[in-house]
């Protein structure tokens, strides 16, 4: 069956950043130079071809864009300046919006005004909500203790509710990703066994990003890993040790030392990435989508307000600390509720998931191939018998 080309798809991808893909003339340099491209996932040339011709269904079924870490080698080598690396990046943005069933992601990626507007709206609502809640609970003059403006026990419960909501969105989107790339392919002989035996890849890739380290420039990998680990540390601290974190005003070294490291990591990591993007220091930082800026700036502000309220609290300036806390929270909420399931941050789930699914898929394909070989053998024997 012939596949219908759709020359219009490329226009749909443009707002996601795929502006140069039509320049590609398929020399294949990019796929040859890419450290991650290997059978059966040969990219970036092939996804670029699908995109040029507008084969939407093929693209939706591809894991390839997630196997790319945007080291930028391909864009550097491309003789046509077709920016294959940025095309892969754009495909990731587009896929994110395709996985997302709410349509919010699509809105965000296609217009930064929507994304920024939603963040501001959620921030204002959160600020109002917490202010009202705080005033009904205690006094703005107290950061902790029985009269605390925002008692950590309540915030703790709120955190868990928030986590539940965003996980629901993220997991339902991830399920759609599975369906597009694996589930709906009836001919793929996957087994439960291979899903189980490859499951270790999920945490392994999540926590080490070991594939990223294969890029020629180790700096990006190290920065990215540090940023991620800092964030995870912070998350663990907040989700499990919030009461101890917010107690005081004495410093509780057993938790705070981890907090300081994490904060330093977050500030440094985002600052470095921001600097690279401003300076356009190498291929992967040459093209910044609005969503990239929003994401980095948001983390930077969240980390800054976080450390600010901590310092203010320790300095005995409770009113100021409470104000900083409100600002901090009103940015944390949109950062988590909007960025994780609907925007750039969703890659924390999709990328390890893709590597895991890619492994399962490759195993299945290999099995299908060897199955074919066995199926052929009786025929081959017959021919030999005839020859004899």
Partner 1 sequence: MTERRIGVYVCNCGTNIANVVDCDAVAEAAQSLPGVAVSRSYKYMCSNPGQEMIVQDIREEGLDRVVVAACSPRMHEPTFRRAAEMAGLNPYLVQMANIREQCSWVHDPGETATDKAKDLVRAAVYRAACHEPLERMAVEMCPDTLVIGGGIAGMSAALELADAGNRVYLVERTASLGGNVARVDLTAPYLDSARDMIVDRVTRVVEHPNVDVLLESELERLDGFVGNFKATLVRRSSGEAPPRQVVDVGSVVVCTGYKEFDAARVTHFGYGKLPDVITSFEFEQMLKQGRIELKDGRLPQYVAIVHCVGSRSEEFHGYCSRVCCMTALKYAHEVKSALPKAYVSDVYVDMHAFGKGCEDFYRRSAEVKTLFLMYGKGERPVVRRADPGDDCEMLLTVDEQLSGELIELPADLIILMVGMEPRDDAGQVAHLVNISQDKDGWFIESHPKLDPVATTTDGVYIAGACQSPKDIPDSVAQARAAAARILGKISRGKLEIDAMYAEVDEDLCSGCRVCNEICPYSAIEFDEEKRRSHVISALCKACGACVATCPSAAIKARHFTDAQIFAEITGVLA
Residue from the set 12, 22, 61, 80 that interacts with ligand SF4 by CB under 6 A: 80
Residue from the set 51, 74, 321, 327 that interacts with ligand SF4 by CB under 6 A: 74
Q: Is 282 in the site for ligand SF4 (CB under 6 A)?
A: no
**8 versus 386: smaller Cβ distance to partner 1:** 8
Minimum distance from residue 66 beta carbon to partner 1 (Å): 20
Task: Using DSSP, state whether 193 is helix, strand or coil.
Answer: helix
Q: Is 23 in the site for partner 1 (CB under 8 A)?
A: yes
Of these partners, ligand SF4, partner 1, none, which one is at the site of residue 2 (CB under 5 to 8 Å by kind)? partner 1
Q: What are phi and psi for residue 114, nearest 5 degrees?
A: -65, -45
Q: Is 8 in the site for partner 1 (CB under 8 A)?
A: yes
Of these partners, ligand SF4, partner 1, none, which one is at the site of residue 55 (CB under 5 to 8 Å by kind)? partner 1
Cα 141 to Cα 149: distance, rounded to the nearest angstrom: 7
305's CB contacts (< 8 A; 6+ apart) are 324, 327, 328, 331
- Identify residues 85-104 at the interface with ligand SF4 (CB under 6 A): 85, 88
Residue from the set 9, 13, 18, 34 that interacts with ligand SF4 by CB under 6 A: 34
Residue from the set 13, 18, 24, 34 that interacts with partner 1 by CB under 8 A: 24
Dihedral angle of Cα 44, 216, 348, 184, to the nearest 10 degrees: 30
Q: Is 148 in the site for ligand SF4 (CB under 6 A)?
A: no
- Site mask for partner 1 (CB under 8 A), range 56-95, x = bound: --x---------------------x---------------
Q: Is 185 in the site for partner 1 (CB under 8 A)?
A: no
Cα 173 to Cα 179: distance, rounded to the nearest angstrom: 10
Cα 75 to Cα 239: distance, rounded to the nearest angstrom: 40
Q: In terms of Cα–Cα distance, which of 60, 122, 162, 141 is closest to 331?
A: 122
3-class secondary structure for 31-88?
HHHCCCCECCECCCHHHHHHHHHCCHHHHHCCCHHHHCCCCCHHHHHCCCCCCHHHHH
Q: Is 4 in the site for partner 1 (CB under 8 A)?
A: yes
Categorise residue 316: left if φ over 0, alpha if ψ from -120 to 50, beta otherwise.
left
Of these partners, ligand SF4, partner 1, none, which one is at the site of residue 53 (CB under 5 to 8 Å by kind)? partner 1
Task: Using DSSP, state whether 280 is helix, strand or coil.
Answer: coil
What residues line the site for partner 1 (CB under 8 A)? 1-8, 10, 22-26, 46, 49-50, 52-53, 55, 58, 80
């Amino acid at each position: 069956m012939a596949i219908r080309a759709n020359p219009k798809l490329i226009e749909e991808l443009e707002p996601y950043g795929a502006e140069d893909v039509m320049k590609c003339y398929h020399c294949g340099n990019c796929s040859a130079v890419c450290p991650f491209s290997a059978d059966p996932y040969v990219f970036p040339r092939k996804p670029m071809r699908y995109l040029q011709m507008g084969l939407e269904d093929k693209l939706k079924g591809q894991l390839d864009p997630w196997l790319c870490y945007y080291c930028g080698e391909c864009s550097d080598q491309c003789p046509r300046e077709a920016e294959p690396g940025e095309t892969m990046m754009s495909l990731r943005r587009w896929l994110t919006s395709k996985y997302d069933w709410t349509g919010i992601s699509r809105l965000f990626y296609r217009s930064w005004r929507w994304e920024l507007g939603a963040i501001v709206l959620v921030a204002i609502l959160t600020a109002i909500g917490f202010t009202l809640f705080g005033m009904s609970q205690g006094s703005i003059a107290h950061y902790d203790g029985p009269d605390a403006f925002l008692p950590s026990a309540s915030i703790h419960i709120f955190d868990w509710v928030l986590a539940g909501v965003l996980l629901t969105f993220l997991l339902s989107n991830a399920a759609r990703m599975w369906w597009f790339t694996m589930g709906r392919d009836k001919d793929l002989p996957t087994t439960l066994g291979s899903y189980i035996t490859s499951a270790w890849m999920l945490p392994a890739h999540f926590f080490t990003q070991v594939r990223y380290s294969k890029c020629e420039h180790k700096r990006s990998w190290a920065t990215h890993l540090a940023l991620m680990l800092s964030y995870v540390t912070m998350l663990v601290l907040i989700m499990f040790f919030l009461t101890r974190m917010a107690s005081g005003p004495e410093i509780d070294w057993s938790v705070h030392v981890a907090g300081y490291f994490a904060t330093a990591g977050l500030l440094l990591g985002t600052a470095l990435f921001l600097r690279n993007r401003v300076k356009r220091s190498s291929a992967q930082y040459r093209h910044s989508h609005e969503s990239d800026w929003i994401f980095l700036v948001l983390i930077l502000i969240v980390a800054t307000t976080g450390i600010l309220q901590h310092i203010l609290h320790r300095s005995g300036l409770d009113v100021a600390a409470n104000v900083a806390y409100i600002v901090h929270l009103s940015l944390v909420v949109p950062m988590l509720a909007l960025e994780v399931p609907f925007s750039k941050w969703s890659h924390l789930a999709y990328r390890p998931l893709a590597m895991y699914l890619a492994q399962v898929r490759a195993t299945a394909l290999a099995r299908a191939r060897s199955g074919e070989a066995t199926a052929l053998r009786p025929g081959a024997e017959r021919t030999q018998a005839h020859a004899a």
